[in-house]
Amino acid sequence: MKAHEIMTARPEVVTPTDPISRAAQIMRDRDVGLVPVVRDTTSMMLEGVITDRDVAVRHVADRHTNDCSVSTHMSRDHISAVAESDDVSTVMATMERAEVRRVPVTDKSGKLLGIIAQADIAMCQEIPKAKVGEVVRMVSEAKS
């Protein structure tokens, strides 16, 4: 099975200049923990990601003002993305290696196509449940 078969296509995105409150609203309204950050909504070139942890730890806990932009708190270095044609085993290995619960899916040029979360992998019938459990354990232990 390939990444494009299990990804959530066309996720909502923010740009680096959007207010951080926009990212938080998307997280709340879509019940997601990660919002991709793209250069602009026309090109959809992936620039980074912003997570619920970024909002809580980098923004709220440090008492930043509400007019902060996404660029102030987003993660941009070492973003682990997968290709739409990657096997699910590659997606799981990427999650384990990067110690993340969600990965963006891009085309060869870096254009955002979708997101894969651990839940998407768990729902995949072709993956042994023991392997899914191992990925969840490895990522969870690394973040503890």
Cut 0.85: pTM above it: no
CATH number of the domain at 81, please. Answer: 3.10.580.10
Looking at residues 39-68, what average pLDDT do you find? 80
* Count of domains forming the chain: 1
User: Over 80: is that where the pLDDT of 19 sits?
Assistant: yes
Distance of alpha carbon 113 from alpha carbon 78, whole angstroms: 18
Query: Domain range spanning residue 19?
Result: 3-143
Mean pLDDT lowest among 97-101, 121-125, 137-141: 137-141
DSSP 10-60: S---B-TTSBHHHHHHHHHHHT-SEEEEES-TTT-BEEEEEEHHIIIIIII
Distance of alpha carbon 19 from alpha carbon 24, whole angstroms: 9
Strands 82-83 and 102-106: parallel
Distances (CA, A) of 60 to 28, 64, 143: 15, 6, 20
